[in-house]
Structure 1
Amino acid sequence: MMRNSLRLFWVLNCMMIVICTFAVHAHAADIRQQISAASTIEQIYKRGKIRVGMDVFVPYAMKDKNNELIGFEIDVAKQLAKDMGVEIEFVPTKWSGIIPALVANKFDVIIGGMSVTPKRNLKINFTNPYYYTSQGLLANRKMTEGFTITDFNSPDVSIAARLGSTAAVAAKENFPKAKLRLFDDEPAAVQEVKNGRVHAMVGGQPLPFNMAADSPATLAAFDDQLLKEPISFGIRKGDVDTLNFFNNWIEIAKSKGTIDKLYDYWFKSTEWKSLIE
């Protein structure tokens, strides 16, 4: 009798273990489904539109003669939307506030020439880099005649950069003794150099080279590479599915030569200038 009772006890125990195991797995599956459904990539598909945060600066994103957005990052984002089979909405945002706007869900992703830094990475996640850029120096030719790159590191020199950008970081690191003036956008910084209110500005290439080529009598670009940076998409934290999708898309686009083709057009040629002049 006791043997039968023990057998029944063990059978019931095993049944309870099996039931609990199934319940745990079912609960885990529900959690995974909830997380997946809440991911940005799923929301984009349900909405049928991807919202892209960006700021306006040449030649990454700018307005053409018809007041339409064009540029390298614009084309990258459009290709992404096309491959996803969704529409695209660009959300112009001041650079200094673009990360808080992403965190606040004002848009789905930052595609705007954003370089990866540890400080930024504490607030948002980054994809794999889709290209690399560098910071260069654009100077007022008359004010800096005879200057070498080291001459800019002086208390008597003023240098402009865009607020919240890695250009500002590069300016501080390379010219710690100079006076740093920060502006909301790069066109304002360029204008300060042209007007002789600052000696130079630090900005992402090819802006310094392009500006100097447009105004050779007024502006000069230095060949020195101040900072090489990986450029990535920015997304909100805790979204593995979205990060996985964007990383895979970047690798596919790079392997097909899509990114290189766009980069060559916007950064190595001046054909696009006819679209804005």
Structure 2
Amino acid sequence: MKKWSLLALLIALLLVIAACGSDESEEDPTNEDGGSDTKTYKVGIDTTYPPFEFEVDGEYTGIDIDLIKAIAKSQDFEIEFSPMDFGGIIPALQADQLDIAIAGMSITDDRKKVVDFSDPYFEAGLSLVVAADNSEITSLEDLEGKTVAVKSGTTGAQFARDNEAEYGYTVAQFEDSPSMFQEVSNGNAAVLLEDYPVIAYAIAESGLDLKTAGERLTGDEYGIAVLKGENDEVLKQINAGLQELRDSGEYDEILAKYIAE
């Protein structure tokens, strides 16, 4: 009787051990460190660029911020913002300090040499911006002998350098938009170059003593960037997310939140 009891006990013990082994071998939704398998990407932004990126009460907001958050939600990945000067964003991608850049970045041939862009998400364009009481400057032909303020690393800065010799002006570069705006407001520069939606928002919201002059100089499109040839997977997710936002109407809602018709 005791032999049968001992045998039964051994069988029961083996069954318990087998059951425990089966539980441990089941797929675990967490990784080896106990965290989530959801990927987190570092996103470079420039928070001196309203209405696309700016800071209110310690929180990042703007068109770009809302768009990348919505894309991340749509495509099931996490993001971690890294604010920096615009001119440092592409170098940070190259140094593997960032995975994604969204900063009102115009799609240009030069940038395409080092980054891959998403589908365009906004049509912008450079404008001449002068003091509100300036009626003398309406085109590039009016800039001879004058100082043109630009923001380092931007398409405005590149445009100014490319046309400096032809139109006879001097370029002054700044690291942020407010400093550039102030340079024209206080008369140290005759004009600045800025993307139209950015300066239109700044003038309307901040009461800057500035105005746009003449027609837009370019027809730039903004794109979301990743390091060239290194992040095809996330670029596909970004494009898929953008399309989903357009199809659902959320894209238009985000733009309408910051830019009035």
**TM-score, normalization by structure 1:** 0.73
Question: Aligned pair 1:116/2:111, yes or no?
Answer: no
State which of 99, 105, 118 in structure 1 corresponds to 2:96: 105
Helix, strand or coil at the partner of 2:97: coil
Helix, strand or coil at the partner of 1:50: strand
Q: What is the letter of the counterpart of residue 158 of structure 2? A: V
Question: Aligned pair 1:148/2:130, yes or no?
Answer: no
Question: Aligned pair 1:80/2:71, yes or no?
Answer: yes
Contact 2:151–2:174 (CA<8 Å) still a contact in 1? yes
Contact 1:211–1:219 (CA<8 Å) still a contact in 2? no
Helix, strand or coil at the partner of 1:98: helix
Q: Give, in whole Å, the separation in 2 of the partners of 1:80 and 1:180.
A: 37
Higher helix fraction (1 or 2): 1
Q: Give, in whole Å, the separation in 1 of the partners of 2:260 and 2:163.
A: 26
Aligned to 1:268: 260
Contact 1:53–1:111 (CA<8 Å) still a contact in 2? yes
Larger deviation, residues 91-100 vs 251-260: 251-260
Q: Give, in whole Å, the separation in 2 of the partners of 1:90 and 1:254.
A: 23
Question: Aligned pair 1:89/2:80, yes or no?
Answer: yes
Q: Give, in whole Å, the separation in 2 of the partners of 1:267 and 1:152.
A: 30
- Residue 243 and residue 87 in structure 1: after superposition, are their counterparts in 2 closer, same or farther (change >3 A)? closer
* Residues 89-111 of structure 1: per-residue CA shift (max 9 Å, x gap): 11012111211101222121011
Q: Give, in whole Å, the separation in 1 of the partners of 2:135 and 2:207.
A: 15
Aligned to 2:119: 128
Unpaired runs of at least 5, structure 1: 1-44, 270-277
- Residue 240 and residue 67 in structure 1: after superposition, are their counterparts in 2 closer, same or farther (change >3 A)? closer
Aligned to 1:249: 241
Q: CA deviation at 1:179?
A: 1.1
Question: Aligned pair 1:259/2:248, yes or no?
Answer: no
Contact 1:170–1:227 (CA<8 Å) still a contact in 2? no
Aligned to 1:4: none
Q: Give, in whole Å, the separation in 1 of the partners of 2:77 and 2:239.
A: 18
* Residues 126-166 of structure 1: per-residue CA shift (max 9 Å, x gap): 11112211111221234x333322453312x1111111100
Aligned to 1:186: 177
Contact 2:150–2:172 (CA<8 Å) still a contact in 1? yes
Q: Give, in whole Å, the separation in 1 of the partners of 2:177 and 2:112.
A: 23
Larger deviation, residues 229-238 vs 85-94: 85-94
Q: Give, in whole Å, the separation in 1 of the partners of 2:217 and 2:105.
A: 16
Q: CA deviation at 1:212?
A: 3.6
Unpaired runs of at least 5, structure 2: 1-35
* Residues 39-84 of structure 1: per-residue CA shift (max 9 Å, x gap): xxxxxx84542321111211111111x1211111111111112223
Q: Give, in whole Å, the separation in 1 of the partners of 2:71 and 2:155.
A: 25
Question: Aligned pair 1:171/2:182, yes or no?
Answer: no
Q: What is the letter of the counterpart of residue 169 of structure 1? A: Q
Q: CA deviation at 1:223?
A: 4.7
What percent identity do the matched residue pairs reach? 27
Helix, strand or coil at the partner of 1:160: strand
Q: What is the letter of the counterpart of residue 166 of structure 1? A: T
Aligned to 1:273: none
Question: Aligned pair 1:220/2:240, yes or no?
Answer: no
Q: Give, in whole Å, the separation in 1 of the partners of 2:155 and 2:143.
A: 18
